[in-house]
Amino acid sequence: MPTLLISRKFRRRLLLILLPTALLAGWWWRQSWPVPAPPLQLTSISGEQLSLAELRGRPVLVYFWTPDCRYCIQEMPALERLYQRLSPELGFVLIGVAMHHARPDQVLRAVSQMQLSHPVTLDPVRTLEHALGPVLATPYSVLIDPAGQIRARHHGTSNLERLQQKIRKLAAMHPPEP
């Protein structure tokens, strides 16, 4: 019976082609299909109770960060300005989630120094991270449309102009009910 001999070099090349292709296909599939956001209950550091299910009808950006992430700290004031501009106009909600390894005192200090008015919550047991992740690095954002569907996930700093366009588009697709 003849056996098929495949050289080690050919197998290596095949693996180098197939593995990235499979990873890219998986990433694309996960990014391209809207999936329902989990009905999470959150408590902000100010004691405010939030529920993703109760925020239906409004575009929501969940932003994972840490006080020691310089990109997060640089981007946060711009996100706060976006929140202050779009919240009254579109009902936009921005929720900051401090990662599990962030010390609460550092989070409180950073929120105070940046004068953030949007809700910020701690995630000490990684509930939000597991539900909305995987969070491979910070900053990491999850955009949820007014129908409660996850529309985008993004690692790294955001193009704020493009983000604003996405938020406006989602709000227009799902206008609030009278």
Read off the pLDDT of residues 146-178 as tens digits, 9 standing for 90 and up.
Answer: 999 999 999 999 999 999 999 999 998 876 554
Would residue 15 count as lying in a domain? Answer: no
Q: Answer whether residue 30 is part of any domain.
A: no
pLDDT bin (cut points 50, 70, 90) of residue 11 is confident
Q: Do the domain assignments include residue 17?
A: no
Q: pLDDT per residue over 69-96, tens digit each?
A: 999 999 999 999 999 999 999 999 999 9
Mean pLDDT calculated for residue range 105-111: 95
Chain-centroid distance, C-alpha 38: 13
Kindly state the average pLDDT of the residues 121-125.
94
Segments forming the whole domain that contains residue 156: 35-173
Establish if 5 belongs to a structural domain: no
**Where do runs of H (alpha helix) occur along the chain?**
8-32, 70-90, 104-114, 127-132, 160-173
With a cut of 70, say whether residue 31 has pLDDT above it: no
Q: How many whole angstroms separate alpha carbon 142 and alpha carbon 151?
A: 8
In-domain check, residue 25? no
| CATH number of the CATH domain containing 109 | 3.40.30.10
Q: Is the pLDDT of residue 144 over 90?
A: yes
Of 43, 71, 64, which Cα lies nearest the Cα of 143?
64
The total domain count for the chain is 1
Per the confidence metrics, is the pTM higher than 0.85? Answer: no
- Return the pLDDT at 175: 61
- In eight-state DSSP terms, residue 175 is P
